[in-house]
């Protein structure tokens, strides 16, 4: 009985911590540096990711639009459910966009979290300015 209670308490604490995770993390995958904020600087040829909190079971999806694809190219998107919510309806996870710096210049990446079938503004938006040197 004590083990079950301990399991419940630990699960609640883990979920509370997961809910407090920062929603936007930019990572230079080629160097392993974590960068937060709405601006990002890199060099040609480098790959970087944008990781955002998401809940795929709610119908909401993140989409991206890159203003100048001669500066930054979209590579891939992946969704991973958090370990504590893999079997839970409404469980959270992380969506990760991968991009590659392909040319010098500055561009913006616009991200929108919305239900594609609804004609309403997105629930969340992010705009990241990327400068490639």
Task: Of 11-15, 78-82, 113-117, give the lowest mean pLDDT range.
Answer: 11-15
Residues 9-54 have pLDDT tens digits of: 444 444 443 333 333 445 444 444 444 568 889 999 999 999 999 9
Examine the pLDDT at 5 and tell me if it is beyond 60.
no
Inform me whether the pLDDT recorded for 71 exceeds 80: yes
Residue 7, classified by CB atoms within 10 Å of its CB into exposed (0-12), middle (13-18) or buried (19+), is exposed
* CB contact at 8 A, 68 and 107: yes
Please tell me the predicted confidence (pLDDT) of residue 40.
87
Distance of alpha carbon 126 from alpha carbon 52, whole angstroms:
10
Domain residue extents for the chain: 24-132
Q: What is the mean pLDDT of residues 85-92?
A: 69
Strand partners of residue 113: 62, 124
| Whether residue 85 has pLDDT greater than 60 | no
- pLDDT at position 126 is 92
Q: What is the CA radius of gyration of the chain?
A: 17
CATH architecture of 24-132: Sandwich (2.60)
Kindly report the pTM of this predicted structure.
0.71
Helix/strand/coil percentages in the chain, nearest 5: 20, 50, 35
């Amino acid at each position: 009985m004590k083990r079950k209670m301990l399991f419940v308490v630990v699960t609640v604490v883990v979920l509370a911590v997961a809910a407090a995770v920062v929603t936007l993390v930019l990572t230079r995958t080629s160097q392993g540096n974590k960068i937060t904020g709405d601006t990002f600087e890199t060099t040609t040829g480098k790959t970087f990711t944008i990781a955002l909190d998401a809940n795929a079971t709610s119908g909401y999806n993140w989409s991206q639009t890159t203003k100048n694809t001669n500066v930054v190219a979209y590579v891939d998107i992946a969704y991973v459910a958090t370990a504590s919510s893999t079997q839970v309806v409404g469980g959270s996870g992380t969506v990760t966009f991968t991009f590659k710096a392909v040319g010098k210049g500055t561009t913006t990446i616009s991200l929108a979290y919305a239900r594609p079938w609804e004609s309403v503004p997105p629930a969340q938006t992010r705009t990241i300015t990327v400068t490639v040197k």
